[in-house]
Amino acid sequence: MSEQNNATIQTEKKSNPGPLGLLGFGMTTVLLNLHNAGIIELSVVIVAMGFALGGLAQIIAGIFEMKHGNTFAGTAFTAYGLFWWSLIFIWANPAKEIAPADATSLAFYLLLWGVFTLCMFIGTLRHNRATQVVFLSLTVLFFGLSLGDFTGVEQIHLASGWIGIFCGASAIYNAMGQVINEEFGKAVVPLG
């Protein structure tokens, strides 16, 4: 009986946590950048999505990716999940004795995330095109938002919002492509 249990354990299929992380990132990014593009107001809807799907879902996906030995995806999902939580903390500023974020400090915050994302983009050169598009557009988004905060030019911020909508949509496409392709056992959705 123990040999049969061992065979079952060895052939057990491991799930792919990547689509969950990409979906959490993509949906939250689209929602936030609808605000950045001037389409919707910043509201509790964005904050809740950032906490749950953007933050928690990506952190869970990142932990599972690390457990599967995938350092790149584990680092990406965990870091970006914590990005959402840190952004919510910045917006809410529960530490009232600490000064709220100003445009310059937020610009440096976004700049650092842009540098991190650029480095992660370099890592995607070993991945499919869909993943490269996500990280390249995210790099441009972070640098654009940072530049908008450094300069105070609202048009840069609005343009970055549209880049963010594209970025989030590309992550949703990548996530759903992986799910659909796995379900059909073949490349139904091209990911490159």
Domain for residue 159, yes or no? yes
- Report the domain count for the chain: 1
Q: Which domain holds residue 87?
A: 17-184
Domain for residue 191, yes or no? no
Domain for residue 9, yes or no? no
C-alpha–C-alpha distance, residues 187 and 71, integer Å: 25
Domain for residue 68, yes or no? yes
Q: Whole-prediction pTM value?
A: 0.91
Domain for residue 7, yes or no? no
DSSP-assigned letters across all residues of 10-48: HHPPPP--HHHHHHHHHHHHHHHHHHHTTSS---HHHHH
Average pLDDT over residues 38-49: 97
pLDDT of residue 5: 56
Domain for residue 12, yes or no? no
Domain for residue 190, yes or no? no
pLDDT of residue 12: 74
CB proximity list for 164: less than 8 A, separation 6 or greater? 29, 30, 32, 33, 36, 37, 141, 145
Taking only the tens place, the pLDDT of each residue in 45-58 is: 999 999 999 999 99
For the chain, give the percent of residues with pLDDT over 90: 89
Nearest to 166 by CA among 125, 132, 138, 128: 138
Domain for residue 177, yes or no? yes
